[in-house]
Structures are given as C-alpha cells and as structure tokens.
Amino acid sequence: MMRLLSILLPLVLVLAATPARSAQDDLSSLTAALVPLRTTHGTNEQRDAGPELTPVKHALRAWLERHLPPGPTEKGPDGMIDTPSQEELASLGRSLSQQLAAAGLTCGTFGKPGYRCPGDPMVADNFRGYLDDVRIGSFDFGRYLLVITGVGVRCGYDQSAYIYREGPDHAWKLLLASEQDDYGKDAYAPQNFLSIDVSPSAVAWNEAAPLPLVATLGFSPWCQSNWQQLYTRLWRASAATPTPRPLLDRADTLYIGDYQIATERLTASDFLVEYRGGSIDGGALIRSHVAHYRIQPGDTLERIAPVALGPRDFIEEWLTSDWPEAMRWSDPSANKPALATFHAAAFGKDLFGGFDGPAKRCRTDPTLWQVSFSRDGGANEPEAPADYFKVRWMAPYRFTLVDAGQRPFPGCDEEAAMPDDIGTLFPLQGRVP
C-alpha cells in the first residue's frame, strides 16, 4: 500500500532510473496548449480556470505515456516478473519534471533566479499557464502504475491521478483517471492529493487479477486558509471505461493545520478514513472524524464501526447524522421511538454549542458514560437547556446510544481521567508517507 501526503512531505514515490530521454523530446503540443493560458483568464474566476485546461491535461498525459517504462515482463527461466522499483520510478519522475522545467513549463523555485510565476506563492499565487512536477509510483508489487500531474490555477495546482495496468501487448494501459474537467462555479474542485490507494489483488503474477478498488483523498487548496474541503472518493475500476461512477463521493470540512490531517486504509473488503475536521463544540472547533465502510457484494457500501474515537465525538456524529443513519448506532436496549423523537428536535447540520465538561462514567456499569451538550440559541433566543446522553463504550472504539433526555442520569457522575486526544487509528510512529 502507498499513501501520498502532499502538504507535509514531498511525494517521493516516483519513477526513476530508466535512461532519461532527451530534453529535446517533442513538447510542442503541450507547449501550444499551455503557454497561451498565461495571457488569458478562465471562465471560473475564483480559480482562473476553464475548459482550456483539459487539453493541457491530456497533452501532458500523452507526453508522459511515451516515457513510461516497459510493462511487467518475465525475466529468466524461473518466470520471475521484472517491474521498475519505486526508486527507479522516483528518478524517472524527477527526470521528466526537469525536462518540463528546461522547456520553461514549470514555475521553478520561488526566490531563486529564473522563477517564472507571478506573485508570491505564500500570499496570492496564481500558477495559471504552468505545470506542477510529475510524480510516478506503483502499487501491488508493480502490478499497477500511478502517474500524478498538476496544471496551475489560482492558489495552487489542479492535480490529476492516472492508474495504469498491463495491457494485452504488455504495455501500460490506462485503467482509471481522476481528473477534474467540469469547471462550473459550484462543480469545480481542483485537488491536491493527500492519499491514493489501490486494493491489493492477493493473487500471483501468473493469475488474472480482479479489477481493483481505487481510493483517493484530496483537498481543494486555497490561499491563506487552514480550512479546506476534503474529497473522499472510491471507485471500482472498470474494463469498459477509465472514468467509472464512484462508489463513494463525499466532501467534508478539513483542517490542514495539524501534523496528520487525513489518511486512509483500503482493502478488498473495507475502506477506512480518518481526518481532522470541524466540531460543533465551540470550545474545541476541531476534532478527529472517522468514516469506515464495509464493501459488500455488488460493491454496495455499509458504514460500520468505528464512527468516532470518543464518546463526545460519537454524540456529534449522532446529532449531525440523518435519523436513518443515527438509528443504526442505537443500543439494543434503547427505546428507538423515543430516541427518534429526541433526534428530530435536536438534529441539525448547522448545530453548534458546547459540551459541558468531559464524559462521566456511570458507577453501576463501567461501559456506560454520560455526555452533556448545550445547544446555542439563535440571535434572539436563550440558550437551550443541556441535553444528556447515555453512551455505551465498548473497547476499543465501539459506541451505541442507550438513552437521551434533558436530565442527568442517576449515578453517571464519576470523573474519569481521559486524555484530550483519546487516540488515532493511524499512529504516526513508524508510518511512512
């Protein structure tokens, strides 16, 4: 499995050591599509982007495809498969980026002679008419190849990701393309990828691999803000088209000011995402969010535990989810009709307020905890009375709602030491981006 964290460390999973092609390689089609953008503006004024970016993306991809290494080949009498190493792929990616820079198609390095893009990238950058560096890597022991490109827009780059697999002629064939080509005001969401993953095939090289799942996490960058949108997408690759309909396509508020902001794990049977996003608690503003899906036969998705990492976060999920979803997290002992009535009165996507201190443990049952939350009133409304929730917490992160009301639950008053950050499903120690 390979993950990309593009804002914390350079993406270093790219193609290397095949002999570098000459810098005189034909870049005329790409140059002809790209350079005129420097003196024009896109119909999407916010991003200075428009349909004119799509021919640039395709010309860049076509140029790169001519430089891809040979596909997997048998080597030696033992039938071993020879594929490029990650180090070789990284080196090739750097070489291709250098060719683009030598042709004047990238910005260069800010603050150094020859920097070509206008403005200060730390203030209000606009990279329209220029390209990002190329990143190339592989998945599943070289079975799949990944190419990442970027076309300049206001406040960053619009990145595209292309997954390739071996074709009938043993050359690389495009399997899946993640590319933003709708430039409408409300539809266009240029991305910087945080993570890209392909489900492992779990079959030998001499066996036909099933079509994989492909997952991406990306955020839409903007100038001078730590609050962005996280785009989480999951596809089943298709032999019929490189642009299948996604199985999952969601957008969530993302906070990018922390060390670890979003990461995921993909297998053939489940997809797990953890990210830092907004909180309805005015005293916290930021919390960890978890989305875990079981991938069922027919590629239908079912959200499963964990849905949160602590009892207060669980109550946030319950309060801000539609009732059919919230109902699934009700405890078997709960009075569901009563919880449905309570949820209808409290539910709101724009709900805001504050938790009244840490969760308190119930003395009669150590798996039960009480959480209290006070909703903010409107501009001319008094603050709503506190709501109380009885939560069952089973290790490690399995939560269900037992009861809810406007009075504390008897015996649920035990102060229990709890760290501010209860945990993470992706420990930082020993993790390689």
Burial class, 348, CB count within 10 angstroms (exposed 0-12 / middle 13-18 / buried 19+): exposed
Written as six digits, the tokens of 100 are 């683009």
Start-to-end CA span in the chain (Å): 10
Written as six digits, the tokens of 202 are 């779990």
- Distance, in Å, from the CA atom of 177 to the CA atom of 188, rounded to the nearest integer, reads 16
Q: Do 237 and 212 touch, CB atoms closer than 8 A? A: yes
**SS3 assignment, position 129:** coil
Residue of 314, 345, 311 whose CA lies nearest to 329:
314
pLDDT reported for residue 420: 60
Q: Do 125 and 118 touch, CB atoms closer than 8 A? A: no
**SS3 assignment, position 275:** strand
Mark residue 326 as left, alpha or beta (left: phi above 0; alpha: psi -120 to 50; beta: remaining): alpha
If you search the block for the tokens 């109380």, which residue do you land on?
Answer: 388
The amino acid present at 280, given as its one-letter code, is I
pLDDT reported for residue 78: 63
pLDDT tens over the chain, length 433 residues: 444 433 333 333 333 333 344 444 689 999 999 999 999 999 999 999 999 999 999 999 999 999 999 877 666 566 667 788 899 999 999 999 999 999 999 998 877 887 888 765 555 578 999 999 999 999 998 999 999 999 999 989 999 999 999 888 888 999 999 999 999 988 999 999 999 999 999 888 778 899 999 999 999 988 878 999 999 999 999 999 999 999 999 999 999 988 789 999 999 999 999 999 999 999 899 999 999 999 999 999 999 999 999 999 999 999 999 999 999 999 999 999 999 999 998 876 678 899 998 999 999 999 999 999 998 866 566 667 899 999 999 989 999 999 999 999 999 999 987 766 567 888 764 434 3
- Distance, in Å, from the CA atom of 107 to the CA atom of 363, rounded to the nearest integer, reads 63
Q: Do 86 and 137 touch, CB atoms closer than 8 A? A: yes
pLDDT reported for residue 70: 85
pLDDT reported for residue 381: 63
The amino acid present at 153, given as its one-letter code, is V
pLDDT reported for residue 13: 35
- Distance, in Å, from the CA atom of 158 to the CA atom of 221, rounded to the nearest integer, reads 9
pLDDT reported for residue 12: 33
Alpha-carbon torsion angle 330, 335, 340, 345, nearest 10 = -110
**SS3 assignment, position 1:** coil
Written as six digits, the tokens of 130 are 């220029």
Residue of 139, 34, 13 whose CA lies nearest to 86:
13
- Distance, in Å, from the CA atom of 94 to the CA atom of 117, rounded to the nearest integer, reads 20
Written as six digits, the tokens of 111 are 């603050």
- Distance, in Å, from the CA atom of 241 to the CA atom of 4, rounded to the nearest integer, reads 25
- Distance, in Å, from the CA atom of 275 to the CA atom of 189, rounded to the nearest integer, reads 19
250, containing H or E segment: strand 248-255
